[in-house]
Structure 1
Amino acid sequence: MGNAYTTFLIPHHQLMILYQCKLTLHDNVFFATREMGILYETEKYLHNWALSFALFETEYIPKAYRLKGINAQKPTYLDATQEQNLLHLNKAGIYVFPALPLIWSYQVNTFKAAQVAYYGKSVQFGGDGAKRNYPINYGRAKELAVGSQYKTYIVSRKSIKIPRWIRLGKWAAKVRVEATEIADLKERTGQYITKHPLNPLDLPTSSRLLLYNRIVMPPVSLVSQAQLSGNYWQLPDKTCLPVGVFYGASTVVIAS
């Protein structure tokens, strides 16, 4: 991600379409944000890069038929040398913001871990080290529970079809998407505060991030309760969103 790739930046003054999306979990959603011993915890926010793949994979982002070797484990979010990357959405003029939790709860599930040499508790089941009549090698996954609801926004330079259902997380959980177009969209310039989470790597150079709370999660930490300066949209409910965002804005070379 340290390399620079060429992409096309949409001028902020160009007429854009903004969709508000309500996401409802119909399965538990799990991704290992934090690993604390045997506990694997899922962050309450949904990362915009994961949402982007879930919403627009195959339609705009090519899906590799097969990955082998190092390419199977290498992140390709902003890698123009790989077929599957988010730069395709830059060219299509589409951007997905991170998702803000509205109603959320957790469910903790226990799972059996594999017997492998590098695992910390490699005592054989029923062996001398096993003092109880259940496996010592186990883990707990703290998952976002069914019924949790989120809000996010999708910006596009033209009308697009947004899927009603997507699959998200390591378990490919089923998520319902309800999208509505926002009609009364006002563009302003100056300092503003947004309660909606943002990906700092996707902010254009024209936006300055002044104050924020950091949300530590892979692959890139997000920010919340941010104060910024620059061009922004003000929505009818007074939500403010930065103008000109695109994937990898701070790491790519802008081509006119």
Structure 2
Amino acid sequence: MTHIYRARLELHDSLYFATREIGRLYETEAIVHNYALCYALGLVDSDRYGTQVSEEHEYRYFCREQVPMYEEHLSKLNEVGIYVTPARSLQHTSVLHTWKYANNNYHVEMEKTQKNIPSFGRAKEIAPESAFEFFILSQNPLPKPSKWIRLGKWMSKAELTVKELDKVKQGNGDFMFPYPLNPLDVMFTHQVLSYDTVNMPPVSLIRNVSLNGHFYEFDGFKIPARMKYRFKV
């Protein structure tokens, strides 16, 4: 039996991550990638969820190396049957911050700096009180999650509410899923008929997706079934 949870995030800080860089503008898309959510929810390398990894691939708040290990980490979630979809915006506003710094050179001889070239940029962030929604699918009941999580480059604070859905039915056929999806996670189990692309690292997402395949249905809403983390086309 698959347990399906509807999760909602409300930001209490500005959320920033560089979805795309346009000259000196660093823009945050109003979508939270499902890889990022797995880390923010504490699902990775956790005794609580049975997803411990080897010491070589362990993940904590401070990392010895800034090298992504998505396959090593998220494969553990496949083993315990946990899957998190990307989060879409329910309501959001953006704020634009300008930052500036100067190139200050320091010398032992206290020589006069030859150049002082200012540098600046702009970061487009998602503002506090913005809200996002996503789904968690699990083979087993999940422990009650923490009310507060942190995510993004600034480790922004967000309030999390999770509710398990009931009266879930299963079906097979054509259906539409308006939320974002990771294409690598559905292309092997479903026929993807049409979609819009959201270009963002580490894997571009798709949304407004028409699919054919197995799904779960509740209150007339259908969500793809049998999704797993995959890392190769």
TM-score if structure 1 supplies the norm length? 0.77
* Equivalent residues in 2 for 1:123-138, closer than 5 Å: 127=115, 136-138=118-120
Q: Which residue does the alignment assign to 1:40? A: 26
The CA RMSD measured in Å over matched residues stands at: 2.4
The one-letter code of the counterpart of 2:156 is A
Give the structure 2 partner of residue 95 of structure 1.
83
What displacement does 1:67 show? 4.6
Q: How far apart, in 2, do the equivalents of 1:228 and 1:213 lie? A: 13
For residues 44 and 208 of structure 1, the distance between their equivalents in structure 2, rounded to whole angstroms, comes to: 26
Shift of 1:202: 1.1
- Is the 1:197–1:223 contact (alpha carbons within 8 Å) kept by the matching residues of 2? yes
Change in 2 beyond 3 A, CA 1:66/1:143 = closer
User: 2-side partners of 1:167 and 1:220: how far apart?
Assistant: 21
**Structure 1 segments unaligned to the other structure (5+ residues):** 1-14, 117-124, 131-135
Q: Paired residue for 1:190?
A: 173
Cα separation, 2, equivalents of 1:114 and 1:90: 47
CA distance in 2, matches of 1:197, 1:43: 12
CA change 1:114–1:222 in 2 (3 A) is farther
Residues 175-186 of structure 1: pairs in structure 2 closer than 5 A: 175-186=158-169
Match of 2:93 in 1: 105
| 1:1-256 paired onto structure 2 within 5 Å | 15-55=1-41, 56-59=43-46, 60=51, 62-64=58-60, 67-68=63-64, 72-78=65-71, 80=72, 85-113=73-101, 115=103, 127=115, 136-161=118-143, 162-203=145-186, 205-236=188-219, 238-248=220-230, 251=232
| Code of the aligned partner of 1:99 | A
* Cα distance between partner residues in 1 of 2:62 and 2:129: 34
Higher strand share: 2
Distance across 2 between alignment mates of 1:58 and 1:29: 24
- 221-230 vs 198-207, greater mean Cα deviation: 198-207
Q: Distance in 2 between matches of 1:100 and 1:111?
A: 28
Equivalenced residue count is 215
Secondary structure, counterpart of 1:175 in structure 2:
strand
Using the aligned pairs only, state the percent identity.
Answer: 36
Alpha carbons of 1:169 and 1:158: their partners in 2 closer, same or farther (altered >3 Å)? same
Q: Is the 2:189–2:227 contact (alpha carbons within 8 Å) kept by the matching residues of 1?
A: no
Write the distance in 1 (CA, Å) between the matches of 2:207 and 2:37: 17
> For 1:181 and 1:111, how far apart are their aligned partners in 2?
42
Task: List gaps (5 residues or longer) in structure 2.
Answer: 53-57, 105-112
Distance 1:46 1:38 in 2: 22
Cα distance in structure 1, aligned partners of 2:229 and 2:197: 19
SS at match of 2:32: coil
Measured in 2, the distance between the counterparts of 1:24 and 1:65 equals 22
Which 4+ stretches in 1 moved above 4 angstroms?
64-68, 125-128
Structure 1 pair 37/114, CA: closer, same or farther in 2 (3 Å)? farther
TM-score (norm 2): 0.85
